[in-house]
Amino acid sequence: MNDFSDPMSVEEMSRVLKHLPEPDSLEVILSNFHLFSVEEQAKTLFPNLKLSPLGYQSLSGRIESPKKSIILELYETSGMDLSKEDSRFISFKMAEWYHKNHGAGINLDSYRLIVNCYDEVPVYIKNMIEELRNTNVKYEVIQSSTR
């Protein structure tokens, strides 16, 4: 297994997302949020973002109608200046693409990309891997047969 010690840069994340379809699921971490009225607090930071908290007293959530542009925006703003008066921020946790929708199951977080394929690796995955070969992006393609 690869060493996942360094997160991807914004440029590397952008290169990964360039090849992928829109995600099926997007989870975020809510930093410095009060446990009550999480959705309302999130709207003050990202007015167009629809957030569903992941359970009571959870400081993570799922974005409704996830988009690659949202992932990149969250990734670019993760770890913003915490010295300002309102130190709440939303950061990218992980995104998923389901096999049934895209021909491959894909899990992406700040440190790595894992692709699970049955039989043939989709062309868009092959193109992405080709572009990522000479980068520091950690990835793994797991191919298994359904037979």
In a domain, 123, yes or no: yes
Which range has the worst mean pLDDT, 5-14, 34-43, 62-71, 82-91? 82-91
In a domain, 1, yes or no: no
* pTM metric for this prediction: 0.85
In a domain, 5, yes or no: no
Mean pLDDT of the chain: 85
In a domain, 90, yes or no: yes
What's the number of CA atoms in the CB half-sphere (13 Å) around residue 15?
20
Residue 108 binned pLDDT confidence (cut-offs 50, 70, 90): very high
In a domain, 3, yes or no: no
How many structural domains comprise the chain?
A: 1
In a domain, 38, yes or no: yes
Q: Which amino acid is at 68?
A: K
Model pLDDT for residues 45-66, shown as the tens digit of each residue: 888 888 887 765 568 889 999 9
Residue 128 and residue 95: Cα distance in Å, rounded?
A: 16
Q: Is the dihedral of CA 97, 56, 77, 65 positive or negative?
A: positive
Whether the pLDDT of residue 115 is over 90: the answer is: yes
In a domain, 35, yes or no: yes
- Beta strands (DSSP E) in the chain are 25-31, 51-53, 60-63, 89-97, 105-109, 113-118, 139-144
Domain that holds residue 95: 10-144
